[in-house]
Structure 1
Amino acid sequence: MDQQREKFSSRLGFILISAGCAIGLGNVWKFPYITGQYGGAAFVLIYILFLLILGIPIMVTELSVGRASQKSVAMSMDVLEPKGTKWHLFKYFAMAGNYVLMMFYTTVAGWMLYYFIKMSAGGFVGLDKDGIAEIFGSLLQNPTLMVGFMIAVVLIGFGICSQGLQQGVEKITKVMMLLLLLLMVILACRSLFLKGGEEGLRFYLTPDFSALKEFGIVDVLFAALGQAFFTLSIGMGAIAIFGSYIDRSRSLTGEAIFITILDTMVALMAGLIIFPACFAYGINPDAGPSLIFITLPNVFNAMPGGRLWGSLFFLFMCFAAMSTVIAVFQNIISFGTDLTKASRKKVVSINLVAIILLSLPCVLGFNILSGIQPLGEGSSILDFEDFIVSNNILPLGSVVYVLFCSMKIGWGWDNFMAEANSGKGLKFPKSIRFYIQWILPLIVLFVFIMGYKSLFFS
C-alpha cells in the first residue's frame, strides 16, 4: 500500500469534490435539454428512480474499491483481485473512458467560458433570435476560436491539478462548488418569480405519463439510464479515485447518498432555472443541446437586468464544467503516477499535450470534419464520443464494479461489505446481495441492449 498517498484535508472537501466530479455539464447542460426532449416531469421521475436503485449502490462499490486499494482504477483491481483472475484488464476500458470523456467535455467547457466572457462584455445586447443563433453558429464554424477556448480549459484544469490534491484540487474545487450552489439558489429564485413561468413549472413538476408513449418507453428508459450514469460519472473510476483519498472514519453508503443528493439537487435546480424562464418568454424547452447556447441567451435578452443574470448563469456553468474537468484530470494524473511512479509534474506535462490533441476531432467535427457523421445524418463527432461514454463505458463499467464486489471470483461480497461499512454512518444492507449481484446488472444490461436496438432498428 502506498504510504505516501495524499489525503483530503476534510470530509467536506471529499464530499464537495466527489460531488464536483458528479456535478457538471450532465446536470446543467444535458439534463435540462433531455428533460425537455422527453416530456418533462415523467422523465424526471424515471431518472430519479434510476439514481436510487442503480446510482447509489454502484457508487458505493466504486468508492469501496478505491478506498480498499488506495489506488486509481489503473491499479485498484490489480491490488484487490484474487490471484490468477483477469479483472485488472478492466483498467484499459476505464482509463479510455476518462480520456474519451475529456475529448468532448473540454470543448463544451470551452463554449461555457466563451459565453461567460461574451455575455459579461454585452455581446448579446440588442440581438434578436436570429442574431443569437448566428453567434453560436459562427462559434462552431470557427475552429481557431474553439481550439483556443478548449486549450484554455485544459491549461486551467491541469494548472490547478499540478498544485497537488490539497493545495490545488481540494482548495479550488471547494470554493467553486460553494459559489456554484450559491449562484444556483439566486438564479432559481429569480426564475421562479418570472411572470408567465407557471406553465414551465407545470411541465417540469407535474408528470404526464402519456408523453412517455409518444417518445417510446424504451427510448425514455435508455435516455434516463444514460443520464443517471453520466451525471454521477460512475463506471470508469472517476469516483473511485476519491475513495482512495479518504480514511476509514466514515462508512461509504452515507457518503454516496450525500454526493447523489447534491448532484440531483443541482440537476433539479437547473431545471427550475431554465423551464420557467423558457415558458415565460415563449421559448420551446425541447431545443436539444442548443438550449443553453441559443435559447437561454434569448431569455436573458428579454429579461430586465438580463446581462447580469446571463453572466451569473454562464459563470455557474463554467464552475460546473470545471469541477468535473479538474476531477477527471486528477484521475488521469493518478493513472500516470500509479502506473509509472513518474512525478506529478511529468505526468501533467505529457497529459496536457495528449488531451489537447485528443480534443481536436470534437472541435473540428463542427467545421472541417463536419462531413463525418458517425451516428447517422446530422450527428457529430461530439455525439459519437458522448454515446461511447454515456451509453457504453459508464453502464458496462458499472456492471464490472458491481460483479467485482459481489462475486466469489472477484474481490467478493465479504471484503466489499467490510470496506463499505467500516467507520461511522449509514451501513450498506447485507440483505440486498441478490439484488446487487443479479438484478442490478440485468436491469443495466437490458436497458443497454434495448437502447442499441432502438438506435439501429427503429
Structure 2
Amino acid sequence: MMKKRESFNTRWGFIMACIGSAVGMGNIWMFSTRVSLYGGGAFLIPYVIFVALIGFTGVIGEMTFGRATRSGPVDAFGLACEKKGKRKFGEALGLIPVVGSLAMAIGYTVVMGWILKYTVGAFTGVTLAPVDVDEFAAAFGSMASAFGNTGWQVVILLVAMGILMFGVGRGIEKVNKVLMPVFFLLFVALGIYVAFQPGAVDGYHYIFGVDKQALVDPKTWIFALGQAFFSLSVAGNGTLIYGSYLPDEENIPAAAGRVAFFDTLAAMLAALVIIPAMATTGAQLDQGGPGLLFIFLPNLIKNMPGGKIIVIIFFVAVLFAGLTSLINLYEAPIATVQEKFHLERKPACAVIAVVGVIVSILIQGIVSGWMDVLSIYICPLGAGLAGIMLFWVCGKDYVETQVNKGRNSRFTSWFYPICKYVYVPVCMLVLILGIALGGIG
C-alpha cells in the first residue's frame, strides 16, 4: 500500500511557505542595489512587468506540475516522459534541479552561518564593535575565509534540519507561519524608523523617480529580468516540491499571485529601509551582495541613533528570511531521497544533513564562485527543463486540466500559449544572458 503523501494543513500555511521560499537574500542585498544602480523607478517598471510575467507563468506552472504528479522533480520529469517510453531519461533530467537545489542549499548554508553569527553578535555587541568601514571589511573577510565560520554554519544547518524533520505540516508550515509575518513586521518597523531620519526623503525621491535614460538602457531590463526570475525561485525544484503537497481544492493561480505580490513587497520594504538609510549619510549605494549586508550597512547602522537596537531588528529579520529559504532549498533533495530510497523523513534528513555539513565546510572559501555557477547555469536550466516537461511534453489538455483544479471559473486560455512560447524561451534567455554577462541574478 502506497504511503499517503504529506501535505500542508492550511492554505495560509502553504502561501507563507511559498513566500518564505521566495523571500531571501536577493530581496535584501541585491534588489536595493539594483534599484540604486539602474535609475530607481526606471528599474522598478521592468521589474514589476517581469514579476507579473514569471508569476503568471513559471510560478503557476511549477506549482501545478508538482501537484499534478504528487512528486518531486525526478519522478515528475519521469512521469512526463513516460508516455513516450523515456521515463528513465526524464528522471535523469529531473536530477538536475534536485542536485541544483542541494548545491544551492549548501552554499546558502555558508551564508546563513554568517548571518547567524552577525545576529548573535548584534545582541552581544560584537557585530558593531569595529570602528570604521575598513575594520568591518576585515572582520567580514576573516569570517568568510576557508574554515572561518564552521561552527555557526553547522548550527544553522542543524536548526534547518530540525525543522524539516517535523515534516511539511508540523515543520515547514508552522515555522513559516511565524517567521514570515514577523519578518514583514520587523522591516515595516525599520522602514518607519528610517523615514523619520534627516535626509531620508532623498532616498524616496530616488526610488520612485524615473530616470528616462536608464529606462531605455537594455541593461536595466536585463538585470530587472534576472532579479525577478531569481527572486521568485523558479528553478524546477522548491516551488514544484511545495506544489506536490497541495490538495486538488487549492486555487493555484490565486496562490501564485499572492506569492508574487508578497515577494515584491518584501523587496520594496528592504529598498525602503536601505536606500533612504544610505541617503541620510549621503552615501552612494553601489555595493551589492555580502559586502552591503556585512560591511557597509553595519558601518552605517553603527552611526545611527539607536544603532544597537536597529542592528538587532535588522539581522533578526534577515535571519528569518534566510532560514525560510534554506528550508525550501533542502526540501527538494530530502523529498527525492525519500521517494527514490524509500526512507522515512528523519533518516532522509540525516543523509542530506551529513552531505550538507561536509560540503559546506569545504566550500567556505569559494562560496561566491560556487553560487555564481549555480545561478548562472543550474537554476535557469532547471526552470527551463520543468517548463519544457510541462508545457511541451505533457501538452495543452493536461496542463489546462491540472491548472483548473480548485478553481470556480476556468483560467484564461492565454496561460498555456504564453507559458509555452514566452516563458520557456525566457528561461533559456536568462541562461544565455547569465553566461554572457557573468550572471544576472
**Match for 1:102 among 84, 100, 105?**
105
Report the counterpart of residue 446 of structure 1 in structure 2.
429
Question: Structure 2 vs 1, CA of residues 454 and 301 (structure 1 numbering), >3 Å: closer, same or farther?
Answer: closer
Amino acid at match of 2:14: F
How far did residue 272 of structure 1 move? 0.4
- Separation in 2, partners of 1:396, 1:183: 35
Amino acid at match of 1:173: N
Question: Is 1:172 matched up with 2:175?
Answer: yes
Amino acid at match of 1:73: P
- Separation in 2, partners of 1:163, 1:443: 37
- Separation in 2, partners of 1:158, 1:199: 43
Report the counterpart of residue 375 of structure 1 in structure 2.
none
Report the counterpart of residue 48 of structure 2 in structure 1.
48
Note the alpha carbon deviations across 1:28-80, whole angstroms, 9 max, x for none: 12222333343433223222211111233111111111101111112122234
Report the counterpart of residue 276 of structure 1 in structure 2.
276
- Separation in 1, partners of 2:38, 2:308: 30
Structure 1 residue ranges without an equivalent (≥5)? 366-380
- Separation in 1, partners of 2:29, 2:411: 32
Question: Is 1:353 matched up with 2:354?
Answer: yes
Secondary structure, counterpart of 1:31 in structure 2? helix
Amino acid at match of 1:269: L
- Are the aligned partners of 2:140 and 2:294 in contact in 1 as well (CA < 8 Å)? yes
- Are the aligned partners of 1:19 and 1:263 in contact in 2 as well (CA < 8 Å)? yes
Question: Is 1:404 matched up with 2:389?
Answer: yes
Question: Structure 2 vs 1, CA of residues 266 and 222 (structure 1 numbering), >3 Å: closer, same or farther?
Answer: same
Amino acid at match of 1:442: P
- Are the aligned partners of 2:377 and 2:434 in contact in 1 as well (CA < 8 Å)? no
Amino acid at match of 2:406: G
How far did residue 139 of structure 1 move? 1.9
Deviation larger for 354-363 or 101-110: 354-363
- Separation in 1, partners of 2:357, 2:306: 37
- Separation in 2, partners of 1:328, 1:42: 32
Report the counterpart of residue 399 of structure 2 in structure 1.
416
Report the counterpart of residue 137 of structure 2 in structure 1.
133
- Are the aligned partners of 1:161 and 1:326 in contact in 2 as well (CA < 8 Å)? yes
Question: Is 1:115 matched up with 2:118?
Answer: yes
- Are the aligned partners of 1:37 and 1:288 in contact in 2 as well (CA < 8 Å)? no
- Are the aligned partners of 2:15 and 2:255 in contact in 1 as well (CA < 8 Å)? yes
Report the counterpart of residue 429 of structure 1 in structure 2.
412
Deviation larger for 329-338 or 387-396: 387-396
- Are the aligned partners of 1:251 and 1:426 in contact in 2 as well (CA < 8 Å)? no
How far did residue 433 of structure 1 move? 3.2
- Are the aligned partners of 2:74 and 2:90 in contact in 1 as well (CA < 8 Å)? no
- Separation in 1, partners of 2:223, 2:276: 23
- Are the aligned partners of 1:55 and 1:229 in contact in 2 as well (CA < 8 Å)? no
- Are the aligned partners of 2:65 and 2:240 in contact in 1 as well (CA < 8 Å)? yes
- Are the aligned partners of 1:226 and 1:391 in contact in 2 as well (CA < 8 Å)? no
Report the counterpart of residue 302 of structure 1 in structure 2.
303
Deviation larger for 264-273 or 184-193: 184-193
- Separation in 2, partners of 1:57, 1:427: 16
- Are the aligned partners of 1:36 and 1:287 in contact in 2 as well (CA < 8 Å)? no
Amino acid at match of 2:243: G
Deviation larger for 268-277 or 432-441: 432-441
Secondary structure, counterpart of 1:195 in structure 2? coil
Question: Is 1:391 matched up with 2:392?
Answer: no
- Are the aligned partners of 2:137 and 2:295 in contact in 1 as well (CA < 8 Å)? yes
How far did residue 316 of structure 1 move? 0.2
- Are the aligned partners of 1:229 and 1:235 in contact in 2 as well (CA < 8 Å)? no
Amino acid at match of 2:380: P
Q: Please identify runs of 4+ aligned residues in structure 1 that moved more than 4 A.
A: none
- Are the aligned partners of 2:63 and 2:243 in contact in 1 as well (CA < 8 Å)? yes
- Separation in 2, partners of 1:11, 1:102: 25
- Are the aligned partners of 1:97 and 1:236 in contact in 2 as well (CA < 8 Å)? no
How far did residue 426 of structure 1 move? 6.9
Secondary structure, counterpart of 1:389 in structure 2? helix
- Separation in 1, partners of 2:113, 2:228: 24
How far did residue 254 of structure 1 move? 0.6
Secondary structure, counterpart of 2:238 in structure 1? coil
- Separation in 2, partners of 1:209, 1:186: 32
RMSD (Å), alpha carbons? 2.2
How far did residue 109 of structure 1 move? 1.1
- Are the aligned partners of 1:125 and 1:307 in contact in 2 as well (CA < 8 Å)? no
Question: Structure 2 vs 1, CA of residues 431 and 126 (structure 1 numbering), >3 Å: closer, same or farther?
Answer: closer
- Separation in 1, partners of 2:133, 2:365: 26
Deviation larger for 312-321 or 79-88: 79-88
- Are the aligned partners of 2:142 and 2:148 in contact in 1 as well (CA < 8 Å)? no
- Separation in 2, partners of 1:140, 1:73: 33
- Separation in 2, partners of 1:36, 1:424: 40
Report the counterpart of residue 318 of structure 1 in structure 2.
319
Question: Structure 2 vs 1, CA of residues 157 and 447 (structure 1 numbering), >3 Å: closer, same or farther?
Answer: closer
Structure 2 residue ranges without an equivalent (≥5)? none
Q: How does 1:66-105 map to 2 (within 5 A)?
A: 66-81=66-81, 82-85=83-86, 86-105=89-108
- Separation in 1, partners of 2:322, 2:255: 22
- Separation in 2, partners of 1:336, 1:175: 28
**Match for 1:153 among 153, 156, 176?**
156
Report the counterpart of residue 14 of structure 1 in structure 2.
14
Amino acid at match of 1:280: T
Report the counterpart of residue 62 of structure 2 in structure 1.
62
Question: Structure 2 vs 1, CA of residues 359 and 35 (structure 1 numbering), >3 Å: closer, same or farther?
Answer: farther
- Separation in 2, partners of 1:133, 1:447: 32
Report the counterpart of residue 285 of structure 2 in structure 1.
285
Question: Structure 2 vs 1, CA of residues 70 and 447 (structure 1 numbering), >3 Å: closer, same or farther?
Answer: closer
Amino acid at match of 2:95: Y
Amino acid at match of 1:308: I
TM norm structure 1? 0.89
How far did residue 181 of structure 1 move? 1.4
- Separation in 2, partners of 1:154, 1:70: 27
Report the counterpart of residue 248 of structure 2 in structure 1.
248
Question: Structure 2 vs 1, CA of residues 422 and 49 (structure 1 numbering), >3 Å: closer, same or farther?
Answer: same
Secondary structure, counterpart of 2:414 in structure 1? helix
Report the counterpart of residue 341 of structure 2 in structure 1.
340
